[in-house]
Structure 1
């Protein structure tokens, strides 16, 4: 079905006039009339009731108008999606530093390749702070760990697990007491570790305290301590301890992609759709 036929038909329906529709689509009135006849011949049904004073839709025309608009919306969406220069601007994306390796390495890189005029402003904070920034409109989109605060209930982007991690080489996990690296005493990761070690009847000592995931990674990779972090945070210079070694995963949870209320722009729409598409491909 010729897209130009649909454009002319929709223009007639919106303006109520062949003359005005012809001006809108850049054709002569006779050409637009011919297009409508071709469309009616193609469908085998009359779409318009013509008179000297006005143009009205037939019952078939009313039905077809909805389809025509849907087809045009899909057509325009496809053109825009593949026009790399059509989307530009800044989108503010919030995420925990824990998930940065997983999100930044491939997912965001592929988005920038698709939309080279886009700028992604990253805000690295924990989920509780990102929930507040979403409410304030300080970020456009944010990855939020489920249960970390009041949100709108955005779609689940991915699931993750808190796991035990150790240096790539060596048997640090066999030491007594077990050296561990923590963020702080009240951190949920610390509570998971302590509870697990107590269940294993293993003695432990706090060897490193670091407020950042970067510090925890360095402590583990450097052979100073074991720690617990989400699987997305595990890098190539450390390894995940397994249940066979006595260290099962500590917790599993959902990470949702939340959007600030009322934030509307093409660049936000595209990043949101891209992120959800890429993570759905991983499942």
Structure 2
């Protein structure tokens, strides 16, 4: 006979694991201590083994408890995912999403993959441009949602996280030791360009441009071949490159904000997508 595990029982088990206490688990789930204890007993009856033991004032897992914690987490996660899917409205249509070159590879793939799984009937049109261009397109109605990288946050924007701008170059490279230092910068609309130039000027470091384009591929090629260094966000540095210690003859660079913007009157589809982007970037 197939028996089912109540999700409330699984949730109580995880709450005790995380808090180490029936009392704290009860507060976390807004239940009585007796209710939590009863849920744990129900799970132990199914297991036919004790799942917890006392270690001083804390409740710690037994070997059997350790064995079932993974499947228990999976059950709660699957339950929450199903509830989210059931509650989300079924949308069809298109959302136009813009992101700058500098975070395209680090955040966008995960955002699109998870959104596509949750909303398979929505087509996402992706636009990759510098932040300045994306904001103009958003203002003109050519985009529904945009991620930007900025020193601050403009009107109507929402900062999801901040990240340090860092100098990057080839692994075990020496480009940063040259004088003047060769630098790959974006085109005139690149938001990192003025910040990097100002830092070099303030640090009295002579430099010369090597590559001035918006597309990241040529910039990355000059870095991997040790022809230049370039400013990138720390979370966006690919494995083929390394962060150069700012103390190694290069000036420290500022923090940048990763901001979310929506069109002035967003559709329900755009709102749903923006919410998905918000959760993905904030947790990523």
Q: TM-score, normalised by structure 1?
A: 0.62
Give 1:220's match in structure 2, choosing from 223, 240, 246. 223
Q: Is residue 278 from structure 1 mapped to residue 280 from structure 2 by the alignment?
A: yes
User: What SS is found at the alignment partner of 1:223?
Assistant: coil
CA-to-aligned-CA distance 1:56-111 (integer Å, 9 cap, x gap) = xxxxxxxxxxxxxxxxxxxxxx8573478933321111111111012223222122
| 2:93 paired residue number | 89
**Partner residue in 2 for 1:159:** 162
Decide whether the 8 Å contact of 1:127 with 1:148 is kept in 2: no
- Structure-2 separation of matches of 1:182 and 1:146: 16
Cα 1:123/1:148, change in 2 over 3 Å: farther
Q: Is the 8 A contact 1:179 1:224 kept in 2?
A: yes
Does the CA contact (< 8 Å) of 1:80 and 1:86 recur in 2? no
Contact 1:85 1:116 in 2 (8 A): no
Mapped partners of 1:253, 1:156: distance in 2: 10
Q: 1:116 to 1:245 in 2, by over 3 A?
A: same
Structure number with greater Rg is: 1
1:184-243 per-position Cα deviation (integer Å, ceiling 9, x unaligned): 478653443334334444333323333422221221122211111233442111111123
Question: In structure 2, how many angstroms separate the alpha carbons of the residues matched to 1:185 and 1:274?
Answer: 31
Q: Give the unaligned 5+ runs of structure 1.
A: 1-77
Secondary structure in structure 1 of the residue aligned to 2:183: strand
TM alignment of 1:69-84, pairs within 5 A: 81-82=85-86
SS in structure 2 at match of 1:129: helix
Retained in 1: the 8 A contact 2:157–2:259? yes
Pair 170,274 (structure 1): closer, same or farther in 2 beyond 3 Å: same
How large is the Cα RMSD of the aligned pairs? Answer: 3.0
Sort the Cα spacing of 1:148 and 1:105 in 2 relative to 1 into closer, same or farther, 3 A: same
- Using the TM superposition, give the Cα deviation of residue 259 of structure 1 relative to its aligned residue in structure 2, in angstroms: 0.9
- Evaluate the alpha carbon distance shift between residue 93 and residue 205 of structure 1 in structure 2; reply closer, same or farther with a 3 A threshold: same
Q: Give the equivalent residue in structure 1 for 2:147.
A: 143
1:207 partnered with 2:210: yes
Structure 2 unmatched ranges of 5 or more: 1-81
Q: Distance in 2 between matches of 1:214 and 1:95?
A: 16
Verify: 1:259 aligned to 2:262, yes or no. Answer: yes
